[in-house]
Structure 1
Amino acid sequence: MQRLSVGLLTLAAGLLLGAQSARAEWPEKPIRFVVPYPPGGGTDIVARALGKKMAESLGQPVIIENRGGASTIIGTEVVARAEGDGYTIGLVTDSHAMNPFFFSQKLPYDSVKDFSPVSQIVFVPFVLVANPKAQISTVPELIAAAKANPGKITYASIGNGTPHYLAMEWVKALAGIELTHVPYKGVAPALADVVGGQVDVMFTGLSSGVPLVRAGRLKGLAVSGEQRSGVAPEIPTVAEAALKDFSFMTWYGVLAPASTPPDIVDRLSKEIRKAVESPELKAQFVKLGLEGAPSTPAEFGQFLQRESARYQHIIKLTGAKGE
């Protein structure tokens, strides 16, 4: 019996060492990075820049897989259902914290239990832009036009339950105005229609909106953060322009399936920090108006809890509901 016990202990120790050795060799193949948005928007730009830098360090390709739609639910479910082997990670934004409170129907995953927080990537200030033909150049002009013509001013978003949508719903609630929502499946098609004049206004990331403002194709009404952006210091904040209680910053982060081993989650987190703090990405993010914000898995988990509480409050305030 004693020999049998020793043999079992030896076998267990061998299996444990074998598993640790296998994970020590991670990654041995490409990593899938699921982005729950279509190509062309700010999330896609950041994911591809981050993935490229991580691949250089890890020695394996990081392959971007765009799975847009349903307010990020489609792509996020892909991550939740993936094998927790360290070879699937997913980008998330505010929508991840927002969706459980926004939609009345149950999500196809548990936003907390089905994921392992890895790291935040960046904070993303929005810019409120308008088509020049709308003859709206400031937030007060937008409010005045909306009050004079209730429901006739249109705004684009990348779908119900997204930060772009909720930011404008909050403006509506604070200003006491009515605007008509026009949802799209991604930033690129939404911006294309604002530029084309089919829709009047939109909140979008600085990286996608400011270049169009610089080119004279859109009007920059305001930025969404507490302070003006160094990328476009001439554009006031929404609070500065008209609505003193408004401050809205979206963010991007990375999650892994819940069953991903903690040591791989930690390694991924460290690789993200290394990439975000690299001179190349720092310079690129500054040009895009993004603020690098890498974090540990524990810090990102705590941040997600705070964001969930914040969005629950905003959704209750605005009465926003999923369709």
Structure 2
Amino acid sequence: MTATLTRRGLGAATLGLLPAAAAAQPAAYPGTRPVSIVVSFAPGGSTDTVARIVAQQLQRILGGSFVVENRPGASGTIGSGHVARARPDGYTLLFAGSGTYSMSGHLYPQRGYDEETNFTPIGSVSTSSLFMCLSPKHPMRDIGAFIARAKAEPGKLSYASSGAGSSAHMITELFLEGAGIQVENITYRGGAPAMQALITGEVQMAFVEAVTALPQMRNGDIIGVAVTSAQRSPLAPDVPTIAEAAVPGFEGTTLLAMFAPAGTPDEIIQRLHRGVAEAMQVPEVMATLRTGAVFPRVMTPEEFRPFLTSERRRWLAVIRSRGISAQ
């Protein structure tokens, strides 16, 4: 997601040495060698901002140096590929959102790595939601009215998205499928023009990241009619969830998580997870995240693995049933 929180072979002989080297690393980890946390998007976005908060806290908690490295491109697959090919020693990590680790693999078959076999999860870090928003330039004022009109006029309404395969696009399509309606996707070059199209009434609806949507909702530029999380947002408690208002069981959030290359020693994985868990309990961290409509949601590696499997299956089903492609 791109909205800002601040509005902002090695030879056989060499390979034979790797197990001993890896086994010797955990006790001193991270030591004096810098740890690179790769973010697959440009600086300033929400993933980047949360990654920098986590890096700062890990440096304080675990010692050593944790540095965020931005490697944007191809919907997160360039940065992910870099980490997938890195040595499994704990010094190159991936910080990614659900669009990268559970959706992109189904949309970019030539990406050169496999999410299930090339990465070891460290665990989830935080969650953020989107709001289903309507344009005030049109008469619909709630989710029920929008669904009723869409059913009465199939394909006549439109929604804004910032690109095929983006998290907002995928979550919108999940909603449309659940609601049983047809709404045309109008793609814009980025979140800002998509938001402008919603404000001016060029489209009737858009799913917008909470950090972007909330200020516009407060000043009346758009109408927030439902939130994608399983529970109501504490930042807009009067807005119902989609599950409450229209599609029982619906949930579509952005869950940020950390990964290491497959084969990274478990002691390092667990040490990193404990550091993240501690970081997400720091009051100042929680307050900073809240200003960007982001909230801690920490899962252990053991808890996160079945979640990953479930999410990848869910989004594959959506992609197939909705005929979504990255082209």
Same fold (TM over 0.5): yes
2:206 counterpart SS class: strand
Alignment correspondent of 1:229:
233
Unaligned 5+ runs, structure 2: 1-15
Deviation by residue 1:11-43 (Cα, 9 ceiling, x = unmatched): x9xx95996268515242333222223444432
Q: Which amino acid aligns with 1:50?
A: V
Q: Which amino acid aligns with 2:94?
A: G
Shift of 1:65: 3.1
Shift of 1:135: 4.7
Shift of 1:83: 3.0
CA 1:169 to 1:76, structure 2 compared with 1: closer, same or farther past 3 Å?
Answer: same
Contact 1:231/1:288, CA 8 A, preserved across alignment: no
Q: Which amino acid aligns with 1:120?
A: S
Contact 1:115/1:256, CA 8 A, preserved across alignment: yes
Contact 2:134/2:204, CA 8 A, preserved across alignment: yes
Greater per-residue helix proportion: 1
Q: Which amino acid aligns with 1:143?
A: I
Unaligned 5+ runs, structure 1: 1-11
Percent same amino acid among aligned pairs?
34
Contact 2:131/2:209, CA 8 A, preserved across alignment: yes
Alignment correspondent of 2:102:
97
Alignment correspondent of 2:161:
157
Contact 2:30/2:63, CA 8 A, preserved across alignment: no
2:111 counterpart of 1:107? yes
| Larger displacement relative to structure 2 (178-187 or 124-133) | 178-187
CA 1:220 to 1:89, structure 2 compared with 1: closer, same or farther past 3 Å?
Answer: same
CA–CA distance in structure 1, aligned partners of residues 307 and 103 of structure 2: 13
2:256 counterpart of 1:252? yes
Calculate the TM-score normalised by the size of structure 2: 0.80
Alignment correspondent of 1:78:
82
User: Between Structure 1 and Structure 2, how many residues are aligned?
Assistant: 309
Q: Which amino acid aligns with 1:154?
A: S
2:123 counterpart of 1:119? yes
CA 1:232 to 1:315, structure 2 compared with 1: closer, same or farther past 3 Å?
Answer: same
Shift of 1:115: 0.8
2:55 counterpart of 1:20? no
CA–CA distance in structure 1, aligned partners of residues 316 and 256 of structure 2: 19
CA 1:176 to 1:300, structure 2 compared with 1: closer, same or farther past 3 Å?
Answer: closer
RMSD after superposition: 3.2
2:209 alignment partner, one of 186, 191, 205:
205
Calculate the TM-score normalised by the size of structure 1: 0.80
1:215 alignment partner, one of 219, 239, 258:
219
Deviation by residue 1:114-156 (Cα, 9 ceiling, x = unmatched): 1111111123222112343345432223334545665454333
CA–CA distance in structure 2, aligned partners of residues 57 and 90 of structure 1: 19
Contact 1:273/1:294, CA 8 A, preserved across alignment: yes
Shift of 1:168: 0.8
2:94 counterpart SS class: strand
Say which one has the larger Rg.
1
Alignment correspondent of 2:176:
172
CA 1:157 to 1:37, structure 2 compared with 1: closer, same or farther past 3 Å?
Answer: farther
CA 1:196 to 1:255, structure 2 compared with 1: closer, same or farther past 3 Å?
Answer: farther
Alignment correspondent of 2:312:
308
Q: Which amino acid aligns with 2:220?
A: G
Deviation by residue 1:189-217 (Cα, 9 ceiling, x = unmatched): 64465456665432233233223322333
2:111 counterpart SS class: coil
CA–CA distance in structure 2, aligned partners of residues 281 and 272 of structure 1: 11
2:278 counterpart of 1:274? yes
CA 1:197 to 1:75, structure 2 compared with 1: closer, same or farther past 3 Å?
Answer: farther
CA 1:155 to 1:298, structure 2 compared with 1: closer, same or farther past 3 Å?
Answer: same
Shift of 1:55: 2.7
1:132 counterpart SS class: coil
Report matched runs for 1:23-38 at 5 Å: 24-38=28-42
Contact 2:22/2:89, CA 8 A, preserved across alignment: no
1:294 counterpart SS class: strand
2:129 counterpart SS class: strand
